[in-house]
Every structure is written in C-alpha cells, then in structure tokens.
Chains A and B, each alone.
Chain A
Amino acid sequence: MKVLLVEDNERVTRFVVKGLQEAGHVADHADNGRDGMFLAASEPYDVIIMDRMLPGQIDGLAIIEALRKAGNRTPILILSALSDVDERIRGLKSGGDDYLTKPFAFGELLARLDALGRRAQGSGTQTSLRVGDLHVDLLSRRASRGTRTIALQPQEFKLLEYLMRHAGQVVTRTMLLENVWDYHFDPQTNVVDVHISKLRQKIESDSEPPLLRTVRNAGYMLSADE
C-alpha cells in the first residue's frame, strides 16, 4: 500500500514511517499542511494519515474538506490528540474515514490502515463470506464450517461477520468494540478476549485447523493459511 503521512512531530513521523516500511508499505510524509495538501492532491495514495493540528495556515480538517470537495476519495485516517466524542464526530463529518487518538499503539494504527485500504478496493454487495472452509451466509444469518453447521448467538454472528470481512487483517480489540458492539470506551476487563475465545471454541473443533489467531500486542486475525 502507498501511504501518505501528514504529521509535524518528527519522532512520531520517524516511528510511523519506519513501522510502515517494515510492514511492507511505501510511505511518503509531509510535515506541514501545505506540502501535505500538495502531495495528497497530486499523487495517488491508498490511504492518508492526517494529523489534525499542523503548523502553517492550513489544518488537517481543512485539508480533508478541500480534498473531498475536489473529488478525492482516498481513505483518510485522522490522527489527533483531541479525544472528545464531539471532536471525533467533527473529524468524521469533515470527510475522515477513521479517527485514532494520540497516543496510539502502532499495531492499532496498522490494523486500521489495513481495514481502510481494503475497504477502498471495494467488494460490492456481498451476500456470503468465505474463509477457508468457514462459510457465512449473510442473508440467512447462518454459519457453517465444512459440512458442520455452527449455531451462533446474534452477537457472535456479528463478531464473526466482522472478522470475516477483515479476513487476513489484524483486527484490534478497540476496532471490535467500536464496530461490533458500538462501544466507544475501554471496558477495562478483557471481555473482548472472552468473546473471541468463545467464538473460537465454536468455529474450531479439535480436529479442525485453527482459523482465528491471536496477534501479540495487537489483536486478532482470521485467516485460512498458516
């Protein structure tokens, strides 16, 4: 993926750019709003990471609004120290696609970038999802693995559906909380882990190869290959 980072803090920039390169992405960066705007408008990127408070006359949200007005639909992840719900809504209303509060774990950023990048490729209307021999019918709300039918609670189905839509990507606990339960807060205990292990028991019987893996310091990943 080709990623543009617009961020004025040098240390954060170095950390993110290095991390992105190690993850196999190509990363450009701009340390002020003007350059960021220029790069975003002239180069084709898969995802843009935009800091909200930037030096110079032009701030992050203004850049996003200008890009959207110009018809640029590149997914944008807003990076900000402002954590209020109202700020979040403002960010998303201006045209941002996701909002991550500073300070952040790099794993969280990477997972969200992957999700944004994949979404942009678009898959049209899907009525069923498949990962390996795990199959989910979105219309009848039924799941099965091989010939075995899996009985799922509505919440478990939602969790599985989200994981399958992001198959092959790391999905963090925060992403699950926000997208499966719509909880925009930290529930302190490891409830998400418990939900995952319950789901894992249902989709992976002893004889079947594992599908749902825990990625250390980051989250979970559903994938068929080893």
Chain B
Amino acid sequence: MNRLLRSSAFTLAFSYVAFGIAALVLFAAPLWYAWQVTIQESRTEVLRADVQRLSEVFRREGAPGLAAFIDNRVGMQIPGERILLLTNPALHRLAGNLQEWPGGIPPEPGIYTLPVNLSGRQTHAMFVHTILPGGYNLLVGRDQTLFASLAPRFWYGLAAAVAVLSIAGALGGLMIRRAVLMRVDGIRQTVLAIVQGDWSHRLPTKTVSDELDTLSRTINAMLDQLEQLLHGVRDVSNSIAHDLRTPLAELRSRLEELVLTRPGPEEAFAEIDGAVADVDRVIRIFNALLRLAEIDTGMRRSGFVPVSAADVARQAVDFYLPAAELKGIALSYRGNGPADISGDPVLLAQAIGNLIDNALKYAADRGVISVEVQTLVGGKVWITVADDGPGIPDEEKPKVSTRFYRGDASRGTPGVGLGLTLVQSVAKVHGGVLELADNNPGLRAHMIIPAQLPGGTGALRGPALPSRSQLADTLGQLSLEVTEPPLDAADRSREARCVEYDHGVAPRAFHVPMLPDPANRLLGLCAAFFARDRQLVGAHYLCDRFRSHARPHQLDSGFVHQLTAFGK
C-alpha cells in the first residue's frame, strides 16, 4: 500500500480525481444557487397571481363571495396544492383549508415561510399575507414539501457523479500505474542487465513515439555512445598491451641475451644503444597517447585563439619541404585567403604535420603531395592533404583513425598507428571532422573545421568576448600574456592588454595600442617590448611567436630598423 501511495501514477490519479471533484463543485454550486433563487421567485409569483385573482373576486363580490369562492376552490383542488385562508380583521376564519390563523404570521402583509399544521400533517409552507379592504386578511400559501424531494435528488446526483469520477480516477490511475510501471520496469531490467555487463540490451521502443518512448530512444542513443566508448577503451587497452609489449619484449630479450652471452665491450655497447632506442620507442608511444588523452578531454579548448589555418599549413609545408625534396616528391601549398578559425596553432600544426608526414611515407616515387586550405561557402575551412600513393581501401577507411590501427599498406613502415587518430582528435576538438576520400590514385584527407566569421559573428567569438593569445617567452626571462580585443576593422583605437610575468616580480600590466594592420600590430607589440628595455632577442622572439597568431610577417631589415628606432 505504501508503495502504491508513493507511486507517481497514484499521485497522478488522486490529483486528477480531486481536480474533477473541484470542477464539479464549482459547476454545481452556482447551478444550485440559481435554481434555488429561480424556484423561490416563481413560487412567489404564482402565489401573487393567486392573491391578485382572489382580490378581484373580493372586489366584485365582497367577503362572502370570496369565502364561497375559496371554499369552492378548496373543495375542487388536489389536497394540499394551495393553502387558502380568509379571516375577518380579528383573524377569525371565514373560509379556507386552514383551520386557524398560524401563530407565526404577524398581522402585517408580506411573504413568510414557516412550519404549519395542515389538516393534521406537519409541513413547511410559504405564505403571502394580504390585507384586503375592510381589514380582511387573505393568506395564500403553498406546501414546500412538494419540492423538498428535489434537493436530496440533486445532492444524490452530485454524490453519484463524485463517486463515478473517483472510481474512474482510481481505476485510471491504477491502469496508468500498471502501464507506466511495466515500462519503467522494462527500463529498469534493461539497465540492470547492462550494469551487470551485458551491453547487448536496449530499451524497447514503439513506432508511435510518446514521451516515455522519446526518453527510451535518448537513453538508447546514450547506451550506443557508451558502448562505443567502452569498446574504444577495450580496444585501446588491447592495442596498448600489444603495441607496448612488442618493444618491451624486444628490450627484455635484448638485455637478457646480453646478460647470458656476456659479449665483449664493443658488442655490449651496441646492444645497450639498441636497448635505449627500444625504450625511446616506448616513450614515444606513451607521449602520443598522453597527447591524445590531453586533446580528447577538450582541455586545450581553453587556449584557443584566432588563428589562420592557411598560415599554419603554409608553415608546415615549408617545414616538410626539404624532406619532400629529398625523396623527389613535389610538395606544394595552395589556398584562398587566411582561413581564420578559432583554434590551437600547436595542435593544428601537429595535425597538418601528421597528414603531410603520412603522405610523405606513402606517396609514390617522384610523387605529388598537395596541401590546400580553403574557406568554403557555409563557413567551413577545408584543410586538405592529398597524395598519389596507394590510398586506403574503402573498407579500411573507418578503421584507420582508430588507435593503433595500421593498414596493410603500412606494414613495414615506421610509426605506431596513432597519427590519424591524433588528426581526428584535433579536428574534433576544433568542432570539425576528418574525412578520408579517394584521390584516384592516392588519399585525400580533409580536416573540415568551422570557420571563424569576420566581425565577431562566429559562435566562438562573441563581440563582447576578447580573444586571448597566450605566449610564454622562454628565450627572454619572462612570460607575457597578451589579451587582444576582437578584430574589428571599424575600431581603430584598440589596445591590447599585456601582462608581464617576470622573475620574482609581481605581474605588471600595460597597454599597447594596436593598429588594424597586422604588420603594425606586431610592430606595436614589439615596440612596447623594446620600451621595457628588452633585448633584441626577446623582441625577435616575440615577433616570431606572434606569427602564429597574426599574419606571417617577414622580418626584413626595414622592420628591424624601425624596431631599433622605437627602442631608442
């Protein structure tokens, strides 16, 4: 019973019934009142009409005539239909079906309701008392008990309605409760099964979707996601076990062999060098995994700044160009515009670097690798790295970006199978995706990332939110945190707030005027740096650091001269 009372269905049914009864009462009360008033009025009306008629008889035929008329009428009527009494001024009965003047009625004319003894029967009646000319009293009344049975009938009707409503409500509540309980119980059973480790279960859903069904679907989607994550974690631990065990096993056997064979120093040192290389391999895998974890938790998003994907890609192409030339591969960059996004330049560089690195590994001899950065309609930046190598078969495409997966084509090449996983994670943390397509022949890898729209309309850069760029100058002995106001061509009087963290000194804040032109912006910052007695090294370094945050800027001699002038 306690459980029943606590169940939500019971509460629902109970409130439903209570509400119904309240509605019924609200409906019945005015009805009752109106009914009462109307009946009272119509009764009085009927009695008044009677009085009118009898007065007429009195006026025409006098008291004896009226007495005869009354007696005649009393004789003809259904007993008790009308109570009539005509008395002389001394209240002595002249005619009528009432034996004597009722004591409760005063001598003044008016309407009275009172108990009365009607031919031996105690009853409730309503009277109209009129004084006719000559002081005769005329009493016209009506037995109320004729209607008395109506009131209880009304109340019985009301009570019956309440009863029906309550029973229907209770039954309905029970039925709802049963239905809901059954489904909730289904959900509970499924979840219990999952808690016990059987991930194949899903909540039952129907074709007609009600609220509970929508909930079930949402929970199912969550379960799918969880199962995928679970598999992911399981796969990762398996892969880690496999991919770390292999170099560790090599290392172990190498060292064990060394102990057993006790070779000469020359050979022993060569073996030890090999062992160090094995350890380095393990460390590299660990670092890659930690980095992935760092990206996947989304922690890096706090360090997002406005960054030009085109600049990052161009720099990466420059970086890999000599390696490509060495292999006789034509590595080229193509782009339209700066392709501004909100992101982490270091992560982007690493992701693009990984893609180029992969392409270099698989591109054909004297092959071609092209890196393209384009801002397409719909506000997406496409970073594409295309090669003419063997490509990836369609059935392998979904797998290559999972951790430690190595395609058939990659057997025998260096790498641990985390490169594309990292690219995918980086795309994801930037709100984008990694798509792999055919280049016929070769692979086209696209990182598709939402563009940052100019003028602060992008979701990532609200107009009130200043963009942040953080840099730690490690060459000079301080770090500098620069908060740039959002880029806005119309506003030409902006200042960047810089906070300088120097060794052992409390952080100092100063403002640097910024010009809309990126080159001058750099200049302004560098000048501020100079004004604070920094070495050229520091200023240089700052400019270079700023390259990744602003447009690339050639540090030509003119620029440096200007800097020196500012410094003096």
Contacts and interface: CB of A to CB of B under 8 A. Distances in A.
Interface stretch (A15-23, A40-48, A183-191): A183-191
B496 to A, nearest CB: 19
Given A73-B477, A85-B294, A125-B536, 20 more contacts: A68-B505, A69-B504, A73-B504, A85-B300, A85-B346, A93-B501, A95-B501, A119-B475, A125-B535, A126-B536, A139-B560, A141-B560, A158-B544, A185-B353, A186-B287, A188-B415, A188-B419, A189-B357, A191-B322, A194-B323
A58 interface: no
Interface string A55-86: 00000000000011111110100000001111
Contacts of B299: 84, 86
Nearest to B277: A217
B472 A89 contact: yes
> Which label, helix, strand, loop or mixed, suits the secondary structure of the A interface?
loop
B92 interface: no
B353 A95 contact: no
A83 B287 contact: yes
A139 B557 contact: yes
A186 B284 contact: yes
A91 to B, nearest CB: 9
Interface residues of B, number: 55
Interface stretch (B16-24, B27-35, B101-109, B548-556): B548-556
Given A89-B470, A194-B322, A179 B415 contact: no
5 contacts: A95-B504, A125-B536, A126-B536, A139-B564, A187-B357
Contact of B504 (A71, A83, A184, A187): A71
A155 B547 CA distance: 13
B554 A154 contact: yes
Nearest to A91: B472
Interface core residue of A124, A127, A178, A183 (most chain B CB under 10 Å): A183
A146 interface: no
Rank and list the top 6 A-B pairs by shortest CB-CB distance, nearest first.
Answer: A68-B504, A68-B503, A194-B322, A92-B472, A185-B350, A140-B557
B504 A189 contact: no
B360 interface: yes
Interface of A: 67-73, 75, 83-86, 88-89, 92-93, 95, 97-98, 103, 105, 119, 124-127, 138-141, 153-155, 158, 165, 178-179, 181-191, 194-195, 198, 217
A178 B541 CA distance: 12
A70 B503 CA distance: 10
Interface core residue of B323, B554, B560 (most chain A CB under 10 Å): B323
B474 A92 contact: yes
B315 interface: yes
Interface string B285-303: 0011011001000011001
Contacts of A67: 504
A41 to B, nearest CB: 12
A98 B477 CA distance: 10
Contact of A195 (B322, B470, B547, B560): B322
B557 A141 contact: yes
A194 B303 contact: no
Contacts of B315: 181
Contacts of B326: 194
Nearest to B501: A93
Contacts of A194: 322-323, 326
Contact of A97 (B291, B470, B474, B557): B474
B472 A138 contact: no
Contacts of A103: 279, 283
B353 A182 contact: no
Contacts of B9: none
Interface core residue of A69, A88, A105, A187 (most chain B CB under 10 Å): A187
Interface core residue of A75, A86, A186, A191 (most chain B CB under 10 Å): A191
A187 B505 CA distance: 37
Contacts of B320: 191
B134 interface: no
Given A73-B504, A139-B561, A141-B555, A184 B346 contact: yes
Contacts of B397: none
A83 B299 CA distance: 13
Contacts of B61: none
Given A139-B557, A191-B320, A179 B504 contact: no
B319 A181 contact: yes
Interface core residue of A67, A141, A153 (most chain B CB under 10 Å): A141
Contacts of A198: 322
B503 A141 contact: no
A85 B474 CA distance: 14
Contact of B357 (A127, A138, A188): A188
A198 B326 CA distance: 10
Given A182-B545, A191-B323, A198-B322, A93 B350 contact: no
Given A183-B346, A185-B346, A93 B545 contact: no
Contacts of A86: 299, 303
